[in-house]
Structure 1
Amino acid sequence: MALTRKGQATRERIVAAASRLMLDQGVARTTVEDIQGAAAVSPSQLYHYFPGKNAVVLAVIEHQTGQVLDAQCQGLDKLDNFDALGNWRDLMVGILTATQCVGGCPLGSLASDLSESDPVARVQLANAFQMWESLIHDGLTRMQERGELSPSADTAQLAVALLAAVQGGLLLSQVRRSPDPLIKSVDTMIDHLRTLSIS
């Protein structure tokens, strides 16, 4: 459905409010009434844009995917050497430090909440992580093309490992309220990549 500028702004306000609530208190504990109150919309307004809570959840995943990947692109779009890899690591640590390690990864939180209870949401989240993985893979491939990594390095496998290191590091940093786990996990992967560099 085509939306007016005002309608698009209302829809975005609903999604932003739902995102905050679902990340703060969990998807299951967030009610439609909670979303209405936080977005300052009536029931008829909310149901004009979304047929139900499940539709809001999918819109929240799309919203958070955009937010996370936009931030990641600031580092990964320029990834083609080890200095750029370090800059990407510093970007993530900076974002984590600015939030005092509260909240962890929005996509990771949603995946933990939804993967076993909502198969449609799980597929959408899997696609989101695949896009993130592809950004890393593209950067590692550029490094390989520049001669920074050995031609025999499996950039697809390395991209999965690096994303897993990021996700695990973010989770432990959230629990420990310290960026150290993210720093150590990503640095360990970077050290491994250096062993695959061409001297």
Structure 2
Amino acid sequence: MSDLREDVSVLYKGRKGSVDFIDVPSLLFALMPGQGDPEGPEFADALQALFTVSYAAHFGLKKQTGELTKVMPLEALWWLDGAGDEDSMEAVTAGFGGLPGTGRGSWRWQAMMVQPDPIDEALLEQAREQSRGKKLPALDRLRFERWEEGRCAQTLHVGPYADEAGTIAVLDAAITAAGLKVHGKHHEIYLGDPRRSAPDKLRTLIRHPVA
């Protein structure tokens, strides 16, 4: 059995101030779509369901095979309904930076976590059923889907989410310099647990699909 974290480790690495272009293959995700402030209850409920089911699936795999894979990082897509890719990213960036003009209540998001091979949809459904005894209001909204993001540019942001604007500007300048354009949703990967890290210690991969 291979460990997906080792197989696609390049997808979860980045250097501050440096932009990497990568190809993201088809991966199985547990995911939860929603809307509103990331500090609000809906997002908190989504994370609780995602982490609970993901850990249950990994321990279920250990029970079946004796192997234990690592739970992958939390990820999220961010966008606004009715906005083009670039307009949506500009608005989300302004919101993270605390600038006026973007109400967090209008943000759309999809929280998600990659599920390493050989975890599959059947094992995830089993993990969901095993989690029903917990208080997880978002449990039934959790979906399991494969998604191929394709060609992307990404870089590492270190520090508070409110300070992401400068990092995003570096990322998008590199995309333009490469003769490409943003073609998809603003994507963040949270290295470590954002619920427990101090703001200045936060490490976030920022990824933009390109074409």
Higher-Rg member (1/2): 1
> Which one has the bigger helix percentage?
1
Same fold (TM over 0.5): no
Bigger strand share: 2
TM-score if structure 2 supplies the norm length? Answer: 0.29
TM-score by length of 1: 0.30
